[in-house]
Amino acid sequence: MIGFLRGAIATCKASDSSRKNTPSYWLTLDVQGVGYDIQITASAANKLPLVGEETQIFTHLIVREDQMTLFGFPTLAERELFRQLISVSGIGTQVGLALLNSLGIQDLVKAIVSGNTRVLSLTPGVGTKTAERLALELKTKLADWRLAQVGAISSVGSVVSVAVQEEVEMTLLALGYTPTEISNALNAIASLPILAKTQDIEAWIKEAIAWLSR
C-alpha cells in the first residue's frame, strides 16, 4: 500500500517496548506536512541523517484489528528480506527486526542459505527450534544457491569482483528470484554505465531488481 516515504526527519527516538538487546526506534517522517510514525531498527536509526534533513524509507504496512504499524527500512533489499522473514511460521515483526538489526542483511542471508542455526539463534528471541525452522523454510526457496554462486555469470566477472557478485546473488536469491533470473538480470545490467566503475552492492541490487521488475 505504501512502498516508500520521502520526507524530512522530525524525530527519532528509542521505542519504550524495545527488546533489551535489540532496541527498535520510532522515526517520525514529515512528508509534506503529514507526520508518519515508522518503526525501524537501531542499526537503521544510526544511519539516518540529522533531524530536519530529508531521507527516504522503504516501508511495510501491517494491519491488525486494533492498529496499523509501518515498518521502515533504508534499502529495498532489506524490506524484501524482512517480508521473507515474517512469512516463516513463528517469526513475528519484532523478531524479524531483531534479526536484521543483529546480523545485517549480508550476514543474515549467509546464515540462512548455509543453514547456520547457531548464528541465527544468537539473536534475542530466536531459539534453536525457531532458527532451524527459519533456515529450513527459507533455504527451500534458495535450494539452488550453491549452483548460482559457482561462476554462473561469467560476463560480469570483468566488471565486478567475485565477492560483490556473490553478495548480490545471495541477496536476490533471498528475495525469491531463481538462479536463472538472477543470471539473466546481472548479464543484462553489466553494461550499464552507472555500474561500470562501481563495486556498490546496493547499486547492483537496485538495478537488478529494476530489470527483473520490468
Q: Which of 130, 49, 29 is nearest to 86 (CA)?
A: 130
Give burial (CB, 10 Å; 0-12/13-18/19+) of 74. Answer: buried
The DSSP secondary-structure symbol of 27 reads E
How confident is residue 20, by pLDDT bands cut at 50, 70 and 90? low
Output the average pLDDT for the chain.
85
> Using an 8 Å Cβ cutoff, are 1 and 46 in contact?
no
C-alpha cell belonging to residue 204: 547492483
Give mean pLDDT, residues 46-72.
94
The pTM for the full model equals 0.72
Cβ–Cβ contacts within 10 Å for residue 45, how many? Answer: 19
pLDDT at 151 over 50: no
The pLDDT > 70 percentage for the chain reads 88
Q: What is the DSSP string of 32-55?
A: TTEEEEEEEEHHHHHT---TTSEE
Give mean pLDDT, residues 179-184.
82
Give the model confidence (pLDDT) of 104-129 as tens digits. Answer: 887 888 888 888 999 999 998 899 99
pLDDT at 85 over 80: yes
- At 152 the pLDDT is 47
How large is the C-alpha radius of gyration of the chain?
Answer: 18
